[in-house]
Amino acid sequence: MCFSATASFIAGGALGATGTVAVRRTGGFLRRPIAAVPLFFGIQQLVEGVLWLSLGYPWVQAPATMAFLFFSHVFWPTFLPYAVWREETHPRRKDALAWFAWFGAAVSLYLLYFILRGPVVSTILGQGIAYDVPLPNHAVIPGAYVLATCGSCLVSSRKFLRVFGLALLASLGIAYGYYLDAFASVWCFFAAVLSFIVFVHLRQERASQSSG
C-alpha cells in the first residue's frame, strides 16, 4: 500500500464531497453531527496532502503539522463520542455515551497541552508521515484515546456505528503491526476511508425513509 500526497488528496476530495452531501441532507452538522464525520476526515486528509508536499518548507510544514495534530489528537476524541451520543436513542446507552463524551474531552485537553508545549515534528518515514509529539512514555493515554473513540462506537445501539467501531479497531491493529513508525498518519488514513460506512448508512436510511 502506498501512502502519499496523491492518496491523501484523493481520499480528502472524495470524503469532502460525500461528507458535504451528507451534512446538507441532514440539515447541517449541528443537527446531526454524525453526518459530518466523513467531511471532517476529508478535511484532515487534505491537510495531510498539503503536509506531504510541504516537508522541507517550514513556513507551510509547521502550521500543516499543527492542523493535522489538531484533528488526530484533539478533535476526534471529543467529537466522535459526542456525535455517537447525539445519534443514540436508547436511554441507558445514551447516559453511558455522555460519560464517553466527557472522557474524550479530557483526553483531548491532555493531548492539546503537550502539543502546544511542543516541540512537535513531522517527517516522512517510508510510506507514511511520522508525527513526534512529546508525550509521557506510557500506554495510558493511547488506551484512553482508543476507549473514547472506538469504545463509544461499540457502546452505541446503532449497528452501523458498531461496525464502524470494529473496523476502526481492526485498522488500528494493521497500522500498529505494519506501520508503527507512521502509526498516527496511517491509522487516520484508514479511519478516513472507513468513514464511508457512515455516509453509506445515512444514504440508505434516507432512501428507506423516502420510499416509506
Q: Answer for the pair 95, 73: CB distance below 8 angstroms, yes or no.
A: no
pLDDT of residue 211: 63
CB atoms inside a 10 Å sphere around CB 117: 10
Number of domains in the chain: 1
pLDDT of residue 210: 65
Q: Domain range spanning residue 93?
A: 5-211
Q: Which residues contact 99 (CB under 8 A, 6 or more apart)?
A: none
pLDDT of residue 1: 43
pLDDT in tens, the chain (212 residues): 457 899 999 999 999 999 999 899 887 777 889 999 999 999 999 999 999 999 778 899 999 999 999 999 999 999 999 999 999 999 999 999 999 999 999 999 999 999 999 899 999 887 789 999 998 877 799 999 999 999 999 999 999 999 999 999 999 999 999 888 899 999 999 999 999 999 998 888 877 776 65
pLDDT of residue 3: 77
Q: Could you tell me the pTM of the whole model?
A: 0.93
pLDDT of residue 11: 94
Cα-Cα-Cα-Cα dihedral sign, residues 172, 125, 111, 134 = positive
Cell of 157: 445501539
